[in-house]
Every structure is written in C-alpha cells, then in structure tokens.
Amino acid sequence: MAKNFVTTTINGDEVEFASYPGQSLLDVLRSELHMTGTKNGCGSGDCGACTVVLNGRPVNACLVLGVELDGAEIETIEGMATGTKLHPLQQKFLDHAALQCGICTPGILTMAKAFLEKNPDPTESEVRYGLAGNLCRCTGYDKIVRAVLDAAADMRADG
C-alpha cells in the first residue's frame, strides 16, 4: 500500500515518517518511530492511554491519522521531562504513589499537563472531570487526583 510522506515536529524535533492512509498516529508513534511511551489500551478513544498533545490540544493518538499530520506539532510523554529533570507532575506522581501498574500513567500525565495549562488552579472535582477520559484500573484515582492537585499548587508557586 502506498505510503504518504509526512513531516512533523515531535517533542520539538523535526521528525519525518511514512504512513499509509488509515494508519493511526498511535501506530505511527509505536511501530514506525518506536516511541512506545504512548500506550495502546483500546484503539477506540475510550481509555486515554494514548493521549498526546496535537497542536496544543490533548487528543487520543488512536483516533488521529498519521497522514493528516504534515506540519503538525506533537508532544508525547517522551518529551515531558527536561533532559533528566522530571516535570513536576512526574515527580508528584512518584511522591504520591499515584501509579501501580503504570500503563495508564503516560496518558494521564500528558492529559494532566494539558489540563493544568488551561486550568492551573482546579478543584478536586475539576481534576476528576479533566481526567475522565483516562481509565485507571489500579489506583481508584485517589492518589492520582492528590498528585495532580499537589503538582498544580507547586507549579503555581513556581509561576
């Protein structure tokens, strides 16, 4: 099947890939670019494990086509830490034990980061609704919500 050539920016780097029509961004990231930090949980936009930021908005990578991304800017979990310094959300997830198996963690972190950029001072309820598109089966969400609220407070303090 003929592939289209696509040029994008991923985590600040120019990345070129070839993609056949019908291939999802998730599949491009994982199979073509070997960026497996973005997880595959359902393929139907219901679990949020594949959350990435596309042109400034969080999206399910499984519901985006690779071929439509020419010129797009994409952020994934692999770009969240700065060098070896973890993002405050990543650190707070560790501090609060906000993960067990960890499969949902990259998607939740990516969503939480995008959410806090829009709403830096959320209530508990707003965090819960903000993360409603990310299933976690292990934690019962309690420690995740606490970690996001705590990270938000720190990020506000740091301006």
Partner 1 sequence: MAELKYESPQTTEAAVALLAAGGPTARVFAGGTDLMVQMHEEMIEPTLLVDIKRISETRQITFEDDYVRIGAAVTGAELGEHAELKAMWPGVVEAVELIGSYQVQGRATIGGNLCNASPAADSVPALIAAAARVVIAGPGGVRDIPVEDMPVGPGRTSLAAGEFVTSLLLPKRAERAGDAYLRFIPRTEMDIAVVGVGVSVTLNPDGTCATARMALGAVAPTARLVKAASDILVGNKLDHAVLEALAEAASDACSPIDDKRGTIVFRTKVAGVLACRAAAIAWQRAEKN
Partner 2 sequence: MSNDQSTTNYRWVGKRTPRPDGVDKVTGRARYGDDMSVPGMLHCKILRSPHAHARIVSIDLSKAKALKGVKAVLTCAEIPDHPLSEPPYAPIINDMHDISRNVMAREKVLYDGHAVAAVAATSERIARAALKLIDVEYEVLPHVLDPLEAAQPGAPILNEDQFTFGDETEPKVPSNLFRSITGKRGDLEAGFAEADLIIEREFISEPVHQGYIEPLACIATTSEDGCVELWTTTQGHFVIRALCAKLLNMELAKIRVTASEIGGGFGGKNTIYGEPVAIRLSQMTGRPVRMVMTRTEVFRASGPTVGSRSKIKMGAKKDGTITAAEVDTWYQAGAFKGAPVGRAVETYFSSYKIANVRATCYDVCVNRPKVAAYRAPGAPMAAFAAEGAINELADRLGIDPIDFRLKNAVGEGDESLMGSKYGQIGLVEVLEKVKSHPHYAAPLGPNQGRGFALGYWMHGGGLSSVSAHLLDDGTVTVATGNPDIGGSRSSMRVMAAEELGIDIELIKPIVADTGSMGYSHLTAGSRTTFATGWAVVNAVREIIDKLRALAAKKWGISVDDVIWESGQAVPKKAGQDRIKPLSLKELAGMATKMGGAIAGHSEINAGGVGAAFSAQLVDVEVDPETGFVTPTRYTVVQDVGRAISPDYVEGQMQGGAVQGIGWALNEAYIYDAEGRLQNTGFLDYRMPVASDVPMIDTVLVEVPNPNHPYGVRGVGEPCLVPAPAAVANAVENAIGRTMSWLPLSPPKILQAIEELKLAAE
Name the residues that contact partner 2, by CB under 8 A: 1, 20, 30-31, 34-44, 46-47, 49, 76-78, 80-81, 86, 90, 93-97, 99-106, 109, 124-125, 127-129, 131-145
Strand-pair partners of 6? 17
Rank residues 7 and 36 by Cβ distance to partner 2 and give the closer one: 36
Rounded to 5°, angle at Cα 67 from 27 and 51: 45
Tell the smallest beta-carbon distance from residue 88 to partner 2 (Å).
11
Backbone angles phi, psi at 126, to 5 degrees: -65, -40
139 contacts which partner out of partner 2, partner 1, none, CB within 5 to 8 A by kind?
A: partner 2
Q: DSSP string of 37-72?
A: TS--S-SSSSS-TTEEEETTEEEEGGGSBGGG-TT-
Rank residues 63 and 81 by Cβ distance to partner 1 and give the closer one: 63
Q: Which residue has the tokens 């409603």?
A: 132
Tell the smallest beta-carbon distance from residue 10 to partner 2 (Å).
13
Rank residues 55 and 94 by Cβ distance to partner 2 and give the closer one: 94
93 contacts which partner out of partner 1, partner 2, none, CB within 5 to 8 A by kind?
A: partner 2
Rank residues 95 and 126 by Cβ distance to partner 1 and give the closer one: 126
Residues at the interface with partner 1 (CB under 8 A): 1-2, 4, 20-22, 24, 43-46, 48, 51, 54, 57-60, 62-65, 67-68, 111, 114-115, 129-130, 132-134
Q: Which contacts (CB < 8 Å, 24+ apart) does range 93-97 have?
A: 93/144, 93/147, 95/147, 95/150, 96/143, 96/144, 96/146, 96/147, 96/150, 97/143
